[in-house]
Structure 1
Amino acid sequence: MKRLLYLGYYLKNLDKEKFNKFFDHVKKEHKMDSISLMTDIISSSLKYKISLLEYFQFRFYELTKEQRKSYAGTGYMYEYQLAMNPKLYRECLDNKIDFYKKYSDFVRHMAFGIDELRENSSLAPKLLANPSGKVVLKDSVGKCGMQVKVFKTEFFEGKDLISFMDAEKFDFAEEFVVQHPDIMALSPSALNTVRVFTQLNDKDEVEFLGARLRISVNSEVDNMAAGNIAAPINIETGIIDAPGVYSDITKDDAAVHPVTGVSIVGFQVPFWPEIIDMMKKSALHMPGNRSIGWDIAVTKDGPELIEGNHDWCKLVWQLPAKKG
């Protein structure tokens, strides 16, 4: 019954345009007929608790039964993450305002909720005078890079920041983080974050499930859902050891950045030992949440936290690794 409910959820939330694009691509490239393909999609969704799009993104049409078993889809991850990060503890990860207060020891840049800006009139001018010349406005509970907008600070000359945030439905404002020059050279269009997956074992020891560099492609955000790339980082060295991948199955893997031409494979993430040290501390900071996908910015001064995700994306882990 639960699997049927999951299937109903997948159908209700299906991106039909993307589904049809992937469906037609697989039919053509693998010479499959519509009935056989649709039957395999539905049966795989019910058997392996994957969404209809994940059938394509995990490339189930190319996999054996044993390989399919290894993949964690939306249904599995919902159950797993609910067990690892109970609702009682995960709230601080859902709200960016609360997160920045709870994890302030690991944050370098200015970030304020709209209520803070209202209560202290000196904060908005201070934020707008930050050296980056930009501010980022967000919905504090937004997901996957949605409800995020970057503005040059000069845009607010003669405007009231708080009134603008009210009108545009933003409740969180932060200083634009200027990334490390090496990462800027790789991809300058957005803040490209390192995603590190941590897990606390039954002895409360921090285990690293893996790491990825999320790389923007002419986008203001770096999320895969927005058409960007994710590349696997060797957890021991901090070096990208395989091409970056898209969640769009019609696009080829990228060994070099498609816009800048900088090599992705072999790229050394700066301050890697410092990132690992920060992850060990942040993972134990609130141990009620035991499995977290962290987003880390790397600046010329070192790493800092941008976000912690209790519902971390199974695509960002599995697609670059090409395994479940």
Structure 2
Amino acid sequence: MQAINRTKYFLYYLKELDYNKFSKFLNYTCKLTGKSKFNIILDMINSTYKYNVGIMDYFQFRFFEKNDLEREKWVGTGYKYEFDLKTNPKHTRSILENKLEFYEVYKDFIFHPFCKLEDIKNKNSEADAVLTNKTGKMVLKDSLGQCGYDVEIVKTSDYTLESLASYMSSKGYDMAESFIQQHDHINKISSTGLNTVRMFTVINNTGGVDLIGARLRVSVNSHVDNLASGNIACPVDLNTGKINGPGIYSDITKEDVTHHPVTNVQLIGFQIPMWDKVIELTKKIALAHPENRGVGWDIAITNDGIDFIEGNHNWCKTLWQLPVKKGMKDILDKYN
């Protein structure tokens, strides 16, 4: 059964593969290691079956530089998919998959105005609150979008409720929300996008909340902060809220950075504001619906407080592991 499942996974990886990025990573790896493309691809295929990792995991986790014992430690795409099915069953995860559902269910943790396309068409108070918000900007989204795709930031002054409804319908957006002005201190790192904290939580066997990691996602000339969009991520000390390692890219051809590549702000040692409050509210929101046991929470920190953006049932194992430069399968094994 395992071989059958991993064959299914491998076919899925091939179907979803970004072949341009694959070619780029393959050429880089061959040049770096001196190995042929044939040998790298053969090792990659073997790894997908043996270690339950994806094709791109092989490159991003730098398996081409690791021995068997080191490879075994990493959480790959297949393992994470199976973990998510156990911790966030399909019949409970819709409140995390759909951003509109998330905002309704977790409204006590969300403080910026938001509305549905239907609200805009009906010209109700929720739509007015978004269109008249004090930042002068709003974010248009597909409520089922992931990785920062299907997101657009526009000026409120450019639209009426009628024209906004028409534009959103034409683009496939079904929700709008106020632009969130991040904390002045965080804005110093990068002002091009909202730089969010990703907190990883798992409900343990006694019903408590385990914090298993924290990362700061930082935009690099981008209006989103996702690794997949070419931005960087930094490890954060859970005890202090300070960045304690360099910023990393998911692009293996790029070097780690100790300073932001555009603003030159030093990353290591940077103190995230209101850290005690981040910890407190993360534990509270994780317990609000404990039927979803393992969640990656995206958190905006503003001058006025903490604002939750979304919860991810299929949180990124790359964002979790790459910034700390080690595989952490042993942590998740405790919850299986």
- Normalising by structure 1, report the TM-score: 0.98
Please name the residue that 2:284 is paired with.
281
**Structure 1 residues 36-82: Cα deviation after superposition (integer angstroms, max 9, x where no partner):** 11111110111111111110000001111111001111110000011
2:254 matches 1:251 = yes
Alignment correspondent of 2:319: 316
1:14 corresponds to 2:24: no
The answer on whether the counterparts of 1:117 and 1:124 sit within 8 Å (CA) in structure 2 is yes
Of 126, 138, 160, the residue aligned with 1:123 is 126
Aligned residue number for residue 333 of structure 2: none
Is the contact made by 1:245 and 1:319 (CA closer than 8 Å) also made in structure 2?
Answer: yes
Identity of aligned residues (%): 48
User: In the alignment, is residue 209 of structure 1 matched against residue 208 of structure 2?
Assistant: no
Match for residue 175 of structure 1? 178
Determine if the alignment matches structure 1 residue 135 to structure 2 residue 147: no
Does the 8 Å CA contact 1:297/1:303 hold for their aligned counterparts? yes
- What is the letter of the counterpart of residue 147 of structure 1? D
The corresponding residue for 1:293 is 296
Query: Structure 1 CA distance, aligned partners of 2:241 and 2:202?
Result: 18
- 1:78-97 to 2 correspondence within 5 Å? 78-97=81-100
Q: Distance in 1 between matches of 2:127 and 2:94?
A: 26
Say whether 1:62 aligns with 2:65.
yes
8 Å CA contact 2:51–2:76 kept in 1: the answer is yes
Asked if the contact 1:212–1:232 (Cα under 8 Å) also holds between the matched residues in 2, the reply is yes
- The alpha-carbon deviation at position 301 of structure 1 amounts to 1.1
Aligned runs of 1:161-200 on 2, under 5 Å?
161-200=164-203
2:210 equivalent to 1:220: no
Cα pair 1:97 1:172 within 8 Å, conserved: yes
Bigger drift between 251-260 and 108-117 goes to 108-117
Asked if structure 1 preserves the Cα contact closer than 8 Å seen for 2:6 and 2:49, the reply is yes
AA aligned opposite 1:164: Y
AA at the equivalent of 1:291: G
What amino acid does structure 2 have at the position aligned with 1:253?
Answer: D
Cα distance 1:158–1:107, how it changes in 2: closer, same or farther (>3 A)? closer
Instruction: Give the corresponding residue for 2:157.
Output: 154
CA distance in 2, matches of 1:260, 1:39: 42
- 1:281-314 CA deviation, whole Å, 9 max, x = no partner? 0000001000000000000011110000000000
Return the offset for 1:256. 0.3
Aligned-partner residue type, residue 39 of structure 1: L
Q: Counterpart of 1:242? A: 245
Query: What code does the residue aligned with 1:297 have?
Result: A
- For 2:332, the equivalent position in structure 1 comes to none
- TM-score (ref. length: structure 2): 0.94
Letter in 2 for 1:212: R
Query: 1:52 — aligned with what?
Result: 55
Specify the alignment match of 2:331 in structure 1.
Answer: none
Write the letter of the residue equivalent to 2:156: T
Root-mean-square deviation (CA, aligned residues, Å) is 1.1
Unaligned runs of 5+ in 2: 328-336
In structure 2, what residue type is equivalent to 1:129? T
| Paired residue total | 324
* Structure 2 contact 123–161 (Cα < 8 Å) conserved: no
1:99-118 matches, within 5 Å, as 99-118=102-121
User: Separation in 2 of the partners of 1:41 and 1:84?
Assistant: 28
User: In the alignment, which residue of structure 1 is the partner of 2:272?
Assistant: 269
Q: Within 1, Cα distance between the matches of 2:89 and 2:257? A: 37
For 2:297, what is the secondary structure of its paired residue?
A: strand
Residue 117 (structure 1) shift: 2.8
